[in-house]
């Protein structure tokens, strides 16, 4: 199994990012792929047009989200990976740290780049389009 960790600054507050991550419409808007999210512990979710599926395991608003997570590219019979999203204030912005564990062997680097290209960069652009937001 492989693990990756990434961190970046997102131009919104932790509470705003936490709510958007768990909201179907906003998650879809900031990634560009359709998401459907039941925003509770044990709630199921899909993202990126059902490429990603999983279940929310833990919620600590507005600072932490833990999910069981997998994509259609996981080998048949492989267990879900564990995704931990940590949100910390960084001035008026948020330091998003993403810890992704238990990825199938040989896939870690692909998911690292996928998080950057399909989440971090689009989120920065999306939240920057709301100047002066403070929630």
Domains and CATH numbers, the chain: 2-18+58-128 (3.30.530.20)
**Residue 108 contacts residue 17 (beta carbons within 8 Å):** no
Give residue for tokens 């560009």.
32
**H/E run at residue 120:** none
Between 134 and 5, where is the model more confident?
Answer: 5
pTM comes to: 0.94
Q: How far apart are CA 133 and CA 12, in angstroms?
A: 7
- Residue 132 has a pLDDT of 57
Beta-bridged to residue 95, according to DSSP, are 9, 88
Question: Cβ neighbours of residue 31 under 8 Å, at least 6 residues apart?
Answer: 47, 48, 118, 119, 122, 123
Residue 29 reports pLDDT greater than 50? yes
- At 130, the pLDDT band (50, 70, 90 cuts) reads confident
Instruction: Kindly state the average pLDDT of the residues 14-30.
Output: 97
**63-89 confidence digits (pLDDT tens):** 999 999 999 999 999 999 999 999 999
The β-bridge relationship of strands 81-90 and 2-10 is: unpaired
Q: In this predicted structure, what is the pLDDT of residue 135?
A: 45
Query: SS3 of 116, please?
Result: helix
| Helix (H) / strand (E) containing 14 | helix 14-21
Task: Reduce the DSSP state of residue 79 to 3 states and report it.
Answer: coil
Q: How far apart are CA 16 and CA 22, in angstroms?
A: 10
């Amino acid at each position: 199994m492989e693990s990756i960790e990434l961190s970046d600054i997102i131009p919104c507050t932790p509470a705003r990012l936490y709510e958007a991550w768990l909201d179907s419409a906003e998650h879809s808007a900031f990634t560009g792929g359709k998401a459907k999210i039941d925003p509770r512990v044990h709630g199921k979710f899909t993202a990126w047009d059902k490429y990603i599926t999983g279940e929310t395991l833990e919620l600590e608003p507005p600072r932490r989200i833990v999910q069981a997570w997998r994509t259609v590219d996981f080998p048949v019979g492989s267990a879900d990976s564990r995704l931990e999203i940590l949100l910390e204030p960084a001035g008026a912005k948020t330091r998003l740290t993403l810890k992704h564990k238990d990825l199938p062997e040989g896939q870690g680097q692909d998911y690292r780049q996928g998080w950057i290209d399909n989440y971090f960069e689009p989120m920065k652009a999306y939240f920057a389009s709301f100047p002066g937001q403070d929630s």
